[in-house]
Amino acid sequence: MLANLFRSQRQRLSTPKPAPIYTQLRNRILSLTPAEIGIKRTAQLPNVWGILMEMGLPNGAAALVCLAEGTTSLYYGSGGGILGCGSLENVAKASRAFMVVAEGSSQLMETTNVFPLTRISKVRFYVLTFAGALTSEVDGAVLNRGKHALSRLFFYGQEVITQIRLQQEQKKN
């Protein structure tokens, strides 16, 4: 399913235009400091305190946010989203695993202090560390095939999204 979202050659160079609330939430996360929300280094996460995985989709964007203090949210470029899922056991477990993998993947990223929107068909990781933000943008189809060094991180992020969606389905039933 995700592979189909990333295929269009024509859309590869464009950037989705998200709703203002998406941009505001995204920018708030990317401008936070760990001290503002009481996050401290741990043995499991000595460097990473958060991650934002943004997917540039043909109909907009989506961003998964996971922070070490338990915040887990999914923002939709349309302005919607699913906020505050980190207190749910399976979501919290998947989020923590995602951040641990980010800790091990951080050497594959570059330091940044600018936060452009992710282009359509791309996935951009913003790993928030105690020393500053790191980033990498990769073609979504390449990640989805498992052929990139950051594919594992992508799959762990997808597992968080799966757990959020399963929780949402349980609420509906």
Cα(114)–Cα(137) distance, integer angstroms? 13
- Domain residues for 66? 2-172
Q: Which tops the pLDDT comparison, 105 or 84?
A: 105
Interval 37-79: pLDDT, tens: 999 999 999 999 999 999 998 888 999 999 999 999 999 999 9
Give the model's pLDDT for residue 16: 67
Question: Using an 8 Å Cβ cutoff, are 55 and 123 in contact?
Answer: yes
Domain count of the fold of the chain: 1
pTM of the model: 0.89
Interval 90-118: pLDDT, tens: 999 999 999 999 999 999 999 999 999 99
The pairing of strands 110-112 and 122-129 is: unpaired
With vertex at residue 74, the alpha carbon angle to CA 41 and CA 136, rounded to the nearest 5 degrees, is: 60
Please name every residue paired with 87 in a beta bridge, in sequence order, or none if there are none.
none
Sign of the dihedral through C-alpha 137, 84, 47, 29? positive
Give the model's pLDDT for residue 10: 43
pLDDT tops 50 at residue 89: yes
Cα(164)–Cα(125) distance, integer angstroms? 19
The single residue listed with the structure tokens 């979202």 is 5
CA distances from 76 to 17, 28, 60, 130, 132 (A): 11, 15, 8, 27, 25
For the ranges 6-10, 90-94, 111-115, 126-130, the lowest mean pLDDT is seen at 6-10
Max avg pLDDT among 18-27, 79-88, 148-157, 160-169: 148-157
Cα(64)–Cα(123) distance, integer angstroms? 11
Tell me the chain's radius of gyration from C-alpha atoms: 15
Average pLDDT value for the chain: 90
